[in-house]
Amino acid sequence: MAEKLVIIGNGMAPGRMLEHLLEAAPGRYDITIFNAEPRVNYDRIMLSPVLSGEKSFEEIVIHGDGWYVANGITLYKGHRIVSIDREEKTVTSNHGVTERYDRLVVATGSVPFIIPVPGKDLPGVLSYRDLDDVDAMLVAAQSGQKAVVIGGGLLGLEAAAGLKQQGMEVTVLHVMPTLMERQLDPAAGYLLQRAVEARGIQVRTKANTRRIVGEKRVEGVELDDGTVIPATLVVMAVGIRPNVALAKEAGLAVNRGIVTDDRMITSDPDILAVGECAEVGGMVYGLVAPLYQMARVAAAVLAGGGDERFVHADTPTKLKVTGIDLYSLGDFADGDDREEIVLRDASAGVYKRLVLKGGRIIGTVLFGETADGAWFADLQKKQADISAMRDTLIFGQAYQGGASADPLAAVASLADDAEICGCNGICKGKIVSTITAKGLTTLDGVRAHTKASASCGTCTGLVEKLMTLTIGESYNPAAIQPMCTCTDLGHDEVRRLIKAKSLKTIPAVMQELEWKTSCGCSKCRPALNYYLVADWPDEYADDYQSRFVNERVHANIQRDGTYSVVPRMWGGMTNARELRAIADVVDKFAIPAVKVTGGQRIDMLGIKKEDLPAVWADLGKAGFVSGHAYAKGLRTVKTCVGTDWCRFGTQDSTGLGIRIEKFMWGSWTPAKVKMGVSGCPRNCAEATCKDVGVICVDSGYEIHFAGAAGLDIKGTEVLGLVKTEDEALEVIVALTQMYREQARYLERIYKWARRIGVAEIKRQVLDDLERRKAYFDRFVFSQTFAQVDPWSERVSGKDKHEFRPMAAIGVVKEAAE
């Protein structure tokens, strides 16, 4: 019979240990995991990108539910172990589940350190440790405006950057004189502070928290000098402590962490400890690389073979804040027996410092340019004598031994045992041999088989270069992101094949392109529906069941299941008759909220789904059509009053805006499209942050595109200047049609433009007159099928079933259909 292995905790260390164990000794153990968190194993290092919105939780899951099932592992989610009985060899959870074990692995991780000040328990004070903390911060970011992060270390700065990205005003408080003083020298700490401040985050160093102020919930943080910083959210990120309470109670030897030998075995030979809770060789660890080493050793012990032992190694520190590059490794304190090499480039914001002892590198600090980090780390690990290249050492690998500055050559010249992935301790040789042995052709494949670049992802570029070196040009990094799990094909490939094979229905696409599911999923179906609508406007029958609810019922679903309705107001112009009609509708249907939008429209919120057709009927009588505020399509054209009224106006911006809107309404696009027309460069219609914008000048119309003012903020690119209104319209329409034909579903214009290149777009829709005309004509053709007001269609009875319950049972008096 299989031995019973019980694991307490389901973080990254035990997850990795299981992978090694299942490979080395499959079927040897009957495995049970107790996870205090109510979910599967995920990549905790990637919580910061989840907080900043760059990744979703799904993208950071390491082992989905299926993995546990496939490996026959019992996972108790949301079960905290409350006691270990070493006599009986059992553990018991807070929900009363008791399991017997032959071998037990304690992986209880760490708990955040909460500074013991008054007010620390107020609602609104959080730590930064797991997904629940991130969710709580995201909720707080939606309603609150000011956040204070206590702690200017790795975690604190990543939390601050994420909260800032979520739109909060953020202040970082740090007790020490410079940020990240444990990993950076003061000079780099200062540069880091400047870079953090440049993102609009306030930094206060030497700031000692006296108490957290607030009556019912947090209202601010008071410092030792009496200053009070107002805050609706306080995040404590001052450090972590090994979570040893359970082990201590069970009578295991505990010091700072749970004491183990270099085989990860605790004072009880049947019990192992791994992860942040373990203390090995007198050290406790918090970075992922040593934790993964523990996992490897523990798996070897449990598998009963090998003589792997835990050996301490310095681990480099990297900050996961987009746009701030820093790298530090080893010891960088000054000393009489030490020399240093420093390179500063103030204008480029670069600082590099190497600390040498006896002709060997013992410490590295890089800021602003970190590409050579892996090379310096390799020299440091091997204790290589660098005397011969001392003069040029700081310039990096590209300057040594006549090697060219070609980044591929730099990677090619790395030794086989050079570490590529610091998190997982994977060397170049291992990656190259696995690519060859397993015939890998995708980044995901390399990640699955070697783990390289599968944790924090900062070495992805290096891994991709190794793939190019190993398998040559057949590795194409751009072609590897599949649309969803239903297919291996990417969006571009699918779009190309739809045209090439003349696929004209969703079932045809799925059949011909060998979809892996019977009818797709909520990611691919709306995308395919859009591609078919855009490519075959006259032949394809729009599949409403593949549209998101907003586009199916032509209104915007709200958090309580009611809808909002925005009628079209051409160019943002309205009049007394229209306003009166809106007022009457609001009264008649008791609509709870009316709001003016940023796109110069009126939004009626809180309408019951059943009332929608009647609301539209009344609005229709006043001449309103759908404003498509719910559509991946043309939303609004915002205008200023131009030469009609403004003393500075140079052209009829209102007229042009209305003309564009009347020409283009109803068209479906890959993602929403918002436009603006300003009558002079003062730009009152804010056209330079729109998907497409026009700035009128005396000599004509300057056409802009690829702006953004949402998740990202980006000024527009200038497409070019045209002389007449007709020409402006033609160029804008051609641009939109090119975007409709080429972009990936949900890809806004600015992201598409970044991928295709502004110059190429300019060439096709501005310079090449023939092509411009062809785009224009295709758009006009497609509009003949698209410009039908969806509201009046539904008022006349189309899709009635969408708006009425199918039946009513019991005492409900509402009439069924």
634 and 665 Cβ atoms separated by less than 8 Å: yes
Site stretch for other proteins (CB under 8 A), options 54-62, 407-415, 432-440, 741-749? 54-62
| C-alpha span between 451 and 805 (Å, rounded) | 50
Q: Round to the nearest angstrom and report the end-to-end CA distance of the chain.
A: 61
| C-alpha span between 566 and 571 (Å, rounded) | 14
Q: What count of Cα atoms within 13 Å lies in the side-chain half-sphere of residue 272?
A: 25
Instruction: Please report how close the Cβ of residue 545 comes to other proteins at its closest, in angstroms.
Output: 4
| C-alpha span between 519 and 204 (Å, rounded) | 55
Instruction: Please report how close the Cβ of residue 505 comes to other proteins at its closest, in angstroms.
Output: 13
631 and 552 Cβ atoms separated by less than 8 Å: no
User: Between residues 42 and 101, which has the closer beta carbon with respect to other proteins?
Assistant: 42
Instruction: Please report how close the Cβ of residue 526 comes to other proteins at its closest, in angstroms.
Output: 7
User: Between residues 97 and 343, which has the closer beta carbon with respect to other proteins?
Assistant: 97
Asked if 805 interacts with other proteins (CB under 8 A), we say: yes
Residue in 24, 53, 57, 395 binding other proteins, rule: CB under 8 A = 57
The conformational region for residue 457 under phi > 0 = left, psi -120 to 50 = alpha, else beta, is left
Distances (CA, A) of 167 to 49, 126, 139: 15, 18, 12
Question: In terms of DSSP H, where are the helices of 220-309?
Answer: 245-249, 288-303
Residue in 522, 576, 577, 797 binding other proteins, rule: CB under 8 A = 522
Give the number of other Cβ atoms within 10 Å of residue 559's Cβ.
Answer: 5
What number of chain residues touch other proteins (CB under 8 A)?
Answer: 43
Asked if 521 interacts with other proteins (CB under 8 A), we say: yes
Instruction: Please report how close the Cβ of residue 814 comes to other proteins at its closest, in angstroms.
Output: 6
Place of tokens 């740090």: 174
Instruction: Please report how close the Cβ of residue 546 comes to other proteins at its closest, in angstroms.
Output: 7
Q: How far is CA 436 from the centre of its chain?
A: 32
Residue in 520, 599, 627, 676 binding other proteins, rule: CB under 8 A = 520
Residue 388 DSSP label = G
Residue 567 DSSP label = B
Q: Which of residues 158-177 bind other proteins (CB under 8 A)?
A: none
Asked if 40 interacts with other proteins (CB under 8 A), we say: yes
Place of tokens 């970190």: 370
Asked if 807 interacts with other proteins (CB under 8 A), we say: yes
Q: How far is CA 549 from the centre of its chain?
A: 24
User: Between residues 64 and 177, which has the closer beta carbon with respect to other proteins?
Assistant: 64
Asked if 143 interacts with other proteins (CB under 8 A), we say: no
Q: Which of residues 739-758 bind other proteins (CB under 8 A)?
A: none
| C-alpha span between 158 and 456 (Å, rounded) | 13
Q: Which of residues 544-563 bind other proteins (CB under 8 A)?
A: 544-549, 552-553, 557, 559-561
User: Between residues 347 and 545, which has the closer beta carbon with respect to other proteins?
Assistant: 545
Q: Which residues contact 689 (CB under 8 A, 6 or more apart)?
A: 707, 708, 709, 713, 714, 715, 716
Instruction: Please report how close the Cβ of residue 549 comes to other proteins at its closest, in angstroms.
Output: 4
Instruction: Please report how close the Cβ of residue 62 comes to other proteins at its closest, in angstroms.
Output: 11
262 and 280 Cβ atoms separated by less than 8 Å: yes
One-letter amino acid identity for 716? T
User: Between residues 24 and 61, which has the closer beta carbon with respect to other proteins?
Assistant: 61
Asked if 64 interacts with other proteins (CB under 8 A), we say: yes
367 and 179 Cβ atoms separated by less than 8 Å: no
| C-alpha span between 50 and 59 (Å, rounded) | 9
What residues are paired with 357 via a beta bridge? 360
163 and 51 Cβ atoms separated by less than 8 Å: yes
Instruction: Please report how close the Cβ of residue 68 comes to other proteins at its closest, in angstroms.
Output: 12
Which among 419, 603, 633, 410 has a CA at the least distance from the CA of 534? 633
User: Between residues 68 and 332, which has the closer beta carbon with respect to other proteins?
Assistant: 68
Instruction: Please report how close the Cβ of residue 813 comes to other proteins at its closest, in angstroms.
Output: 9
352 and 343 Cβ atoms separated by less than 8 Å: yes
Asked if 405 interacts with other proteins (CB under 8 A), we say: no
User: Between residues 551 and 717, which has the closer beta carbon with respect to other proteins?
Assistant: 551
Site stretch for other proteins (CB under 8 A), options 122-130, 183-191, 358-366, 806-814? 806-814
Residue in 3, 65, 270, 417 binding other proteins, rule: CB under 8 A = 65
Instruction: Please report how close the Cβ of residue 61 comes to other proteins at its closest, in angstroms.
Output: 5
Give the number of other Cβ atoms within 10 Å of residue 287's Cβ.
Answer: 17
| C-alpha span between 356 and 335 (Å, rounded) | 10
User: Between residues 405 and 816, which has the closer beta carbon with respect to other proteins?
Assistant: 816
Asked if 809 interacts with other proteins (CB under 8 A), we say: yes
- 484-519 per-residue burial string, b: 16 or more CB within 10 A, e: under 16: bebbebbbbebbeebeeeebeebeebbeebebeeee
Asked if 572 interacts with other proteins (CB under 8 A), we say: no
User: Between residues 41 and 716, which has the closer beta carbon with respect to other proteins?
Assistant: 41
Instruction: Please report how close the Cβ of residue 72 comes to other proteins at its closest, in angstroms.
Output: 20
Residue in 38, 72, 281, 358 binding other proteins, rule: CB under 8 A = 38
Instruction: Please report how close the Cβ of residue 213 comes to other proteins at its closest, in angstroms.
Output: 32
Site stretch for other proteins (CB under 8 A), options 109-117, 541-549, 652-660, 790-798? 541-549
Instruction: Please report how close the Cβ of residue 46 comes to other proteins at its closest, in angstroms.
Output: 13
Asked if 311 interacts with other proteins (CB under 8 A), we say: no
Residues that bind other proteins (CB under 8 A): 38-40, 42, 57-58, 61, 64-65, 77-78, 517-522, 525-526, 544-549, 552-553, 557, 559-561, 801, 805-812, 814, 816-817
